[in-house]
Amino acid sequence: MSTDENNQNLTTLFPVFRRADETTLRSGTSGYEALFETSCGDAWEAKVLIPAHIVESAVLNSVEFKIRLGPIGQIFAESDDLSDEALEALTAGLRATTLTEFLASALDPDTLAAEDHPQDLLIALAATLRRAIGDIETRLDDMKNSNR
């Protein structure tokens, strides 16, 4: 068989990585599938199902991002390691969250009950908030003084 005849029998395969639906996983858990597809979109021979926690841990451990607080208490994320789409997905869940909600969750009785020394933690939180309020007041004074 000539080389040209061999090449005619070859199929081009494209690597695919996507979130698997629950019926594909058959376990009721979320996950991803890694496979090859033909140009027609048909799966080819090998398909590997990977639990979501493994993929998500690997991805999140390989990127750096920061959660930031905006001037009116809104929470958002920043990252140089994530694509715009991934950063948008990360930030989408934070948009409705405010500093007040973060504080409410920190003060939740069930959350505090799970801690070994909740009173010490609340004292430390109060000290951090006092420093933050002091920083805000200093910034306001600087702004007032610069506008004179």
Helices (H), 31-117: 52-61, 84-92, 99-106, 109-113
* pTM > 0.75: no
Q: How far apart are CA 23 and CA 143, in angstroms?
A: 59
Neighbours of 20 (CB within 10 A): 20
Q: How far apart are CA 49 and CA 35, in angstroms?
A: 9
pLDDT class of 3 with cuts at 50, 70, 90: low
Percentage with pLDDT > 70 across the chain: 80
Type of residue found at 47: K
Give φ, ψ of 79 to 5 degrees: -165, 140
Quick one: pLDDT at residue 143? 93
Q: Is-contact 36 44, C-beta < 8 A? A: yes
Q: How far apart are CA 13 and CA 42, in angstroms?
A: 10
The residue ranking higher by pLDDT, 132 or 14, is 132
